[in-house]
């Protein structure tokens, strides 16, 4: 499935809920509670149908995301259903890990192979300040994921000046000691909290250069369909990733689209272009009709985001689109 810029689209990020049990300061406002009503969420049957058709068009990878995907009831059953769709050979999950302690094993058994975990700090007070939650819960979740054999486990650290940028080296050491792959991420101007986080934006270039020297690192590679650039540390062989949507965008290799919990297909994280799948799904569209809608949608995928030129155009929160 090629878009109009010749990019092969083979990756769907599926937001299963816009709800989250944390309020990361760059993602959701502290007291925000105005979420989609569950009646509007796609049912598991609807999701499975859309994924089956995407798979016919060449999508092979699915990532469960949100919101916090593990807050969706019966998420293990959904994972099981998706992982057995013909043609889907990579099912992964983005999570804040707060519920992984109990869910890691069943998710692995249901076919989730690898996970990304948000972890911006190793300091209890700082974690509370950034997310509103408890660090211990996330750390126990990461331990449980490791024990369950989910691999690789990638740690996503959104870097913010004066908030957690002094913790990079500590996080590198933490991850190396536990066989976790750290990825540093630049803040994106998405929704009001994302706009506000622009004030703490850190360009990762100089950090990448410094870590490359410190660890005698060379360019590396990790499995996964995402946009990170990796360094491989000389001695340990550990990988450190850099996701730089603002300082060095990667739109020319973008291979994905995103489906929200209420069935809106967003064609670019940083643009407002979307196609409604919920209405046709609920008004009797045939498989051929839906395939046609998906194909037309892919052809309308924008060339690139405009985070630098038009930083205030994406008003929806990251938790809506699914990170
Ligand atoms: N709850 C899950 C999690 O914590 O990974 C999945 C959803 S979360 C929206 C996905 C990712 O988006 C997380 O790594 C989060 O840190 C990142 N994120 C959210 N808002 C962001 C922003 N404004 N800029 C950069 N990354 C952001």
User: Which numbered atom of ligand 1 lies nearest the CA of 197?
Assistant: 23
Nearest CA to ligand 1 atom 19: 27
User: Which numbered atom of ligand 1 lies nearest the CA of 194?
Assistant: 23
User: Which numbered atom of ligand 1 lies nearest the CA of 191?
Assistant: 23
Question: Is the sign of the CA dihedral 211, 215, 218, 219 positive or negative?
Answer: negative
Q: How far apart are CA 271 and CA 102, in angstroms?
A: 36
232 backbone dihedrals φ, ψ, rounded to 5°:
-115, 120
Of all helices (H) and strands (E), which one includes residue 183?
A: strand 181-185
Nearest CA to ligand 1 atom 14: 118
Of all helices (H) and strands (E), which one includes residue 147?
A: helix 135-148
Q: How far apart are CA 249 and CA 176, in angstroms?
A: 27
Nearest to 249 by CA among 168, 211, 207, 306: 306
Place of tokens 């870097």: 159
Taking phi first (over 0 means left), then psi (-120 to 50 degrees means alpha), and beta for anything else, what does residue 213 get? alpha
Read off the pTM. Answer: 0.97
List, in order of start, the domains of the chain with CATH numbers.
11-321 (3.20.20.70)
Question: Strand 61-65 to strand 11-15: parallel, antiparallel, or no bridges (unpaired)?
Answer: parallel
Ligand 1 test: best mutation among 92, 94, 98, 145, most atoms within 8 Å of CB?
94
Nearest CA to ligand 1 atom 17: 323
For 169, residues 6+ apart whose C-beta sits below 8 A from its C-beta are 214
d(CA 289, ligand 1 centre) in Å: 33
Q: How far apart are CA 104 and CA 142, in angstroms?
A: 9
Query: Is residue 305 within 8 Å of 270, Cβ to Cβ?
Result: yes
Nearest CA to ligand 1 atom 3: 95
Residues framing ligand 1 (Cβ under 6 A):
20, 24, 26-27, 65-66, 68, 94-96, 118, 156, 158, 185, 187-188, 190, 194, 197, 318-319, 323
Nearest CA to ligand 1 atom 11: 323
Question: Strand 114-118 to strand 11-15: parallel, antiparallel, or no bridges (unpaired)?
Answer: unpaired
Question: Strand 181-185 to strand 153-158: parallel, antiparallel, or no bridges (unpaired)?
Answer: parallel
As a whole number of Å, the CA-based R_g of the chain is 19
Predicted local confidence at residue 166, as pLDDT: 98
What is the layout of strands, in order, in the sheet containing 181-185? 218-220, 229-232, 239-243, 181-185, 153-158, 114-118, 90-95, 61-65, 11-15, 256-259, 264-266, 274-276
Query: Is residue 251 within 8 Å of 236, Cβ to Cβ?
Result: no
Predicted local confidence at residue 232, as pLDDT: 95
266 backbone dihedrals φ, ψ, rounded to 5°:
-90, 135
User: Which numbered atom of ligand 1 lies nearest the CA of 190?
Assistant: 23
Ligand 1 test: best mutation among 63, 93, 158, 242, most atoms within 8 Å of CB?
158
Q: What is the pLDDT tens value at each position of the chain, 323 positions in all?
A: 899 999 999 999 999 999 999 999 999 999 999 999 999 999 999 999 999 999 999 999 999 999 999 999 999 999 999 999 999 999 999 999 999 999 999 999 999 999 999 999 999 999 999 999 999 999 999 999 999 999 999 999 999 999 999 999 999 999 999 999 999 999 999 999 999 999 999 999 999 999 999 999 999 999 877 889 999 998 889 999 999 999 998 899 999 999 999 999 999 999 999 999 999 999 999 999 999 999 999 999 999 999 999 999 999 999 999 87
Q: Is 184 helix (H, G, I), strand (E, B) or coil?
A: strand
């Amino acid at each position: 499935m090629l878009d109009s810029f010749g990019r092969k689209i083979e990756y769907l990020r599926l937001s299963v809920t816009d709800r989250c049990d944390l309020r990361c300061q760059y993602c959701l406002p502290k007291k925000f509670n105005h979420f989609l009503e569950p009646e509007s969420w796609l049912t598991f049957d609807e999701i499975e149908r859309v994924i089956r058709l995407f798979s016919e068009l060449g999508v092979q990878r699915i990532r469960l995301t949100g919101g916090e995907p593990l807050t969706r009831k019966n998420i293990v059953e959904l994972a099981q259903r998706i992982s057995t769709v013909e043609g889907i050979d990579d099912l992964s999950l983005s999570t804040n890990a707060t519920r992984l302690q109990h869910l890691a094993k069943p998710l692995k058994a249901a076919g989730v192979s690898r996970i990304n975990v948000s972890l911006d700090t190793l300091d209890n007070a700082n974690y509370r300040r950034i997310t509103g939650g408890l660090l211990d819960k996330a750390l126990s979740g990461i331990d449980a994921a490791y024990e369950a054999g989910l691999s690789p486990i990638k740690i996503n650290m959104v870097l913010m000046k004066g908030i957690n940028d002094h913790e990079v080296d500590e996080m590198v050491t933490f991850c190396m000691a536990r066989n976790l792959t750290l990825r540093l991420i630049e803040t994106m101007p998405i929704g009001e909290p994302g706009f506000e986080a622009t004030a703490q934006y850190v360009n990762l270039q100089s950090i990448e250069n410094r870590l490359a020297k410190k660890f005698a690192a060379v360019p590396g590679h990790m499995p996964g369909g995402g946009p990170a650039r990796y360094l491989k540390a000389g001695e340990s062989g550990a990988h450190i990733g850099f996701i730089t949507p603002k300082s060095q965008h990667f739109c020319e290799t973008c291979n994905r689209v995103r489906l929200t919990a209420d069935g809106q297909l967003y064609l670019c994280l940083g643009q407002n272009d979307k196609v409604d799948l919920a209405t046709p799904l609920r008004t009797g569209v045939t498989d051929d009709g839906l395939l046609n809608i998906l194909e037309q949608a892919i052809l309308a995928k924008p060339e690139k985001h405009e985070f630098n030129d038009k930083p205030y155009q994406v008003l929806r929160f990251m938790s809506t689109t699914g990170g």
